[in-house]
Amino acid sequence: LVKGGVWKNTEDEILKAAVMKYGKNQWARISSLLVRKTPKQCKSRWYEWLDPSIRKTEWSQEEDEKLLHLAKLMPTQWRTIAPIVGRTPAQCLARYQKLLDEAEDKDNEEEGLTAEDVRKLRPGEIDPDPETKPARPDPVDMDEDEKEMLSEARARLANTQGKKAKRKAREKQLEEARRLATLQKRRELKAAGIDSPLYQKKKKKKKGLGMDYNADIPFYAKAPEGFWNTVEEKEKEDSEHKNMDNILLQKLEGKRKGEDEAELRKKDAKRQKRKKESGEYVSAQALKEAQEQERKISDRKKMILPAPLISADEMEVVVKLGLEGENIKQLVDAGDKTTGALLNDYSNLRSATPLRTPKVAAGEDSTRLMAKNLLAMTNAQTPLLGGDLETEGEIEFNGITPVRQVAHTPNPLAAHLTPRGNQSNFSATPKGKKGETPVRTPLRDGLGINTPMGSGFEETPRGSRQSVIRQQLSSLFARLPAPQNDFEIVLPEQENTEVVEKSKFTEDEADVQARIAAEKLKMQRERMEKRSQAVQRDLPRPTVIRAGCFALEGLDDVQKLITEEMHALIKHDAKYFPVAGQYPFTQTVELEDFSLELLNKASLLVKKEFENENKLIDTEKNLNEFCKLYKTYHDKYTFVPGNGKEFGTFMEDSKISEEQRVDIMKNKFEANKELMRKEAQKAAKLEKVLSVKLGGYQARSSKLKKDLAVTVTELESSLIELYSFQELKIRVEDPGLEERLLLLEKEVKDLEKLNNQTQQEYLELYNEKRNLLEN
């Protein structure tokens, strides 16, 4: 079943009810109620059309301007623009396309298909976005699957409480009723003076389960009655218990939420009853309609008028001027008519006329202008092809909201002031010169007293030419940049002139880090090469360095220098390159730092000298003597470890005591144990590496072994089936096949014979019929 298509009214109502029950997160469960819709389509339908917060009213001019401005700042980012405008992304996109189409239609007012007509769906086409369209009304005769969907949705959505919730509620009610009945029974028995056996039965019932530590005292044994009378203690205990009384749990906990709600409902019912009796009752429907009316009124946009350009004080000045002019004219009219002929009508006060408020000159629609500019930007060529973008007016990219042009009410006092410097191209008063003090021009200058050039004296040509030159010079001087009087003089450093000339460009930080790392590596390599050969070749070195291990008596000067240098090298290596198990060496030893070239030359000289000496020495003879001496002293002397801070030493076997021999064996045992531990660690590491390397192969081998066993089993079963079917064919199918063929051939022959007989009878009857008809 292909899901999708146009949404119907039934599906919309089911979706609304499902969202009310399941919320706005379980779209898979919601879509299970709708046979022809997927979870994604249900979610899109809710957020694009059915959500009550979606505004479906007409677009205002402010919203259009904001939409076009945001589309200019963030092209094609409709999900970002939508919450700012207060609409859905689909609504924003559709409105944007419509505004562009209107701008294009007004520019190209010629016959033909418009962009909106082109985007309309043709007969047979499928709407790619049906979630943003109104629902189709339900047909009178619905399909069977739609009826089944509707009935299933009605059944599922009507069951707000499932079977488990109903059972739990019923069990809770039964338990509460049972508890109240038991409590009432105990109260009645207690009032009658009978001890209730309910608790005893309950205790007997729970006896097998264990002790009730809330009711009984563990390991409590009642004291037997003694020789003394305890009546007074019992009376005292009974008198204390008389003042005790049972307290309900409700008094301790207070009222519950359900009880408070029930009391509030009772109060509301009483209040409504009282209002009905007094005639002040208003139905819920009427209240809802009144609230809806208030909401509609509040949704209307307030009229935003520009700030007045004339204040109350200025209005009083205008009125006073008008009254003064009227008074003077009345005095003149009352006098000589000759004087009145010299005056014009300067009255500011006019009688009320039926004229409307003067309208501001209409400009071009800002929304249409923005749409035209956006359309031009959309259809513009790539910058690689060149060409200019033709737009009308200035394109604003400042702020998230467009700049609106607010019309101002004209000010009768400010409108008649000569603008300074002629900042506006259109004015009600003549243009004045730059730098002139603006003067007030009368509202009605009938005699032309205060008009420019009204004095009768004009400028001479020379004066006018000089004034023009003066204005040009002043305009040129005004264009000069502002003076900068802050200067800093920095003298060049003489020492670093060569460095500055060499490094004309700034070195990259990565190159600097790489150069520093290379220098460090080079220094580290030189330091490692300057080590002694014993350290470089990892030869065995002494763990204990004694002060008098090198005797200098009886040596010549050269041998002394060599011995001292060797002793210093051993100390230096023990200080800076210690071996494992070495005693800490605390003395500071500083060797003379030689360059690698000198060390290489010295090693060459030593090598050459050794070659010369080696020619004069019988190596094999010396080796045999060394082996004899080593064996003699090795068998004769044994190393005895020291105690505490004492160093060990070599002693003859005859002088070693039993305790020392035990210490020697312990030392050897510990050494062998440490060696064993190290070898075990190495073996564990190798085993781990081996398990990592061979683990995959072993797993693969076991899997292939299992697969091979399964394949062999399947092969054997297939062979058994093959042999079985072959035997079945030979013993059953082949003999029976011949018999079935003979039976079928016989039936075919019988049918052919019967057919021939019936055809012959038909022919005879047909001929007989024709003869009868002819006769």
pLDDT of residue 398: 66
Statement: residue 7 has pLDDT above 50? yes
Cα separation of 199 and 101, whole Å? 88
Give, as one character, the DSSP assignment of residue 192: T
pLDDT over 50 (residue 421): no
Question: Bridge partners of 136?
Answer: 8
Residue 303 counted as domain residue: no
The distance between the two most distant Cα atoms of the chain, rounded to a whole number of Å, is 172
Mean residue pLDDT of the chain comes to: 78
Whether the per-residue pLDDT at 685 is higher than 70: the answer is: yes
Q: Which of 584, 617, 650 is the last residue of a domain?
A: 617
70 phi, psi to nearest 5 deg: -70, -35
Whether residue 231 is contained in a domain is answered as no
- Mean pLDDT over residues 748-762, rounded? 94
User: Looking at the predicted structure, is the pLDDT value of residue 430 above 70?
Assistant: no
Mean pLDDT over 421-446 rounds to 45
Write the pLDDT tens digit of every residue in 326-349. Answer: 777 777 666 655 555 555 555 544
Per-residue model confidence (pLDDT) at position 490: 62
Whether residue 57 lies inside any domain: the answer is: yes
DSSP, collapsed to helix, strand or coil, labels residue 59 as coil
DSSP, res 8: B
Residue 227 and residue 178: Cα distance in Å, rounded?
46
278 within some domain = no
Lowest mean pLDDT among 178-187, 356-365, 587-596, 622-631: 356-365
Comparing CA positions, the residue from 310, 321, 316 lying closest to residue 443 is: 321
Count of CB atoms within 10 A of residue 68's CB?
24
pLDDT at 19 over 90: yes
Q: Are the beta carbons of 72 and 367 closer than 8 angstroms?
A: no
Burial class (CB within 10 angstroms; exposed 0-12, middle 13-18, buried 19+) of 88: buried
What is the predicted pLDDT for the residue at 135? 93
Q: Predicted confidence band at 274 (pLDDT cuts at 50, 70, 90)?
A: confident
Are 19 and 30 in contact by the 8 Å Cβ rule? The answer is yes
Picking from 78, 77, 84, 79, the residue whose alpha carbon sits closest to that of residue 402 is 84
Angle in degrees, 0-180, between the axes of helices 509-529 and 596-616, rounded to the nearest 10: 30
Angle between helix 144-158 and helix 9-22 axes, rounded to 10 deg: 20
Full 3-state SS string of 33-54 = CCCCCCHHHHHHHHHHHHCCCC
Tokens of 451: 């008009």
Top-ranked range on mean pLDDT: pick from 21-35, 206-220, 254-268: 21-35
Q: What is the pLDDT of residue 344?
A: 58
The 10s digit of each residue's pLDDT in 82-137 is: 999 999 999 999 999 999 988 887 666 555 556 666 677 777 788 888 999 999 99
> What are phi and psi for residue 426, nearest 5 degrees?
-120, 130
Cα separation, 12 vs 4, in Å, equals 13
The pair of structure tokens assigned to 348 is 């500011």
For residue 115, is it within any domain? yes
pLDDT value of residue 355: 47
What mean pLDDT is predicted for residues 367-384?
77
Over 90: is that where the pLDDT of 596 sits? no
The pairs formed by 710-718 with CB atoms below 8 angstroms and a separation of 24 or more are: none
Q: Domain count of the chain?
A: 2
Residue 682 is assigned to a structural domain of this protein? no
In tens, the pLDDT along 155-211 reads 888 766 667 777 788 888 889 999 999 898 888 888 877 765 554 545 454 445 567
Confidence at residue 136, expressed as pLDDT on a 0 to 100 scale: 93
Per-residue pLDDT at 342? 56
Would you place residue 453 in the very low, low, confident or very high pLDDT band (cuts 50, 70, 90)? very low
**Two tokens at 321?**
């001027």
Once rounded to an integer, what is the mean pLDDT over residues 457-467? 67
Task: Name the β-bridge partners of 333.
Answer: none
Q: What is the mean pLDDT of residues 278-294?
A: 80
pLDDT at site 48: 93
Residue 755 pLDDT exceeds 70: yes
Residue type, 573: D
d(CA 592, CA 350) in angstroms, rounded, equals: 115
* pLDDT bracket for residue 352 (50, 70, 90): very low
Query: Where is mean pLDDT largest: 423-437, 442-456, 593-607, 744-758?
Result: 744-758
**Domain contains 424:** no
- Identify the band that residue 705 occupies on the pLDDT scale cut at 50, 70 and 90: very high
Assess whether pLDDT exceeds 50 at residue 423.
no
Handedness of CA 536, 538, 543, 549 (dihedral sign): negative
Question: Which residue's entry shows tokens 């007409």?
Answer: 58
Neighbour tally for 592: CB within 10 Å: 6
Task: Give domain status of residue 71, yes or no.
Answer: yes
What is the C-alpha separation between 147 and 159, in angstroms, rounded?
19
Examine the pLDDT at 3 and tell me if it is beyond 70. Answer: yes
> Of 421-430, 438-447, 506-515, 602-611, which gets the smallest average pLDDT?
421-430
Name residue 638's beta-bridge partners. Answer: 651
Transcribe 593-628 into DSSP letters.
Answer: ---HHHHHHHHHHHHHHHHHHHHHS-HHHHHHHHHH
Q: What single DSSP character describes residue 302?
A: P
Domain boundary among 572, 594, 617: 617
The pLDDT-based confidence of 562 (bands split at 50, 70, 90) is: confident
Long-range contacts at 563-571 (CB < 8 A, ≥ 24 apart): 569/532, 570/541, 570/542, 570/545, 571/545
Residue 94 burial (10 A CB sphere; 0-12, 13-18, 19+): middle
Name the least confident of 40-44, 260-264, 362-366, 692-696: 362-366
Is the predicted pLDDT of residue 322 greater than 70, yes or no? yes
Give me 283's structure tokens.
Answer: 């139905």
The per-type count for the chain, helices as H runs and strands as E runs, is 26, 2
- The answer, yes or no, to whether residue 487 has pLDDT greater than 70, is no
Contacts of 434 (CB under 8 A, 6+ apart): 420, 421, 422, 471, 474
Greater confidence (774 vs 228) lies with 774
Indicate if the pLDDT at residue 280 is higher than 60.
Answer: yes
With beta carbons less than 8 A apart as the criterion, state whether 102 and 368 touch: yes
In angstroms, the CA 548 to CA 622 distance is: 28
pLDDT at 555: 77
Cα dist from 79 to 73, 86, 132, 485, whole Å? 14, 11, 15, 53
Instruction: Specify the pLDDT at position 574.
Output: 80
Report the distance separating Cα 419 and Cα 438, nearest Å.
7
Which residues form the domain of 26?
9-161
Nearest in space to 369 (alpha carbons), one of 68, 58, 62: 68
Going by C-alpha positions, the residue among 184, 153, 131, 214 that lies closest to residue 29 is 153
Q: Which of 161, 189, 210 is the last residue of a domain?
A: 161
User: Is the sign of the CA dihedral 533, 537, 539, 545 positive or negative?
Assistant: positive
As a whole number, mean pLDDT of residues 655-669 equals 84
Q: Which of 108, 107, 103 is nearest to 367 (CA)?
A: 103
pLDDT band per the 50, 70, 90 thresholds, residue 709 = very high
Mean pLDDT of 381-404: 69
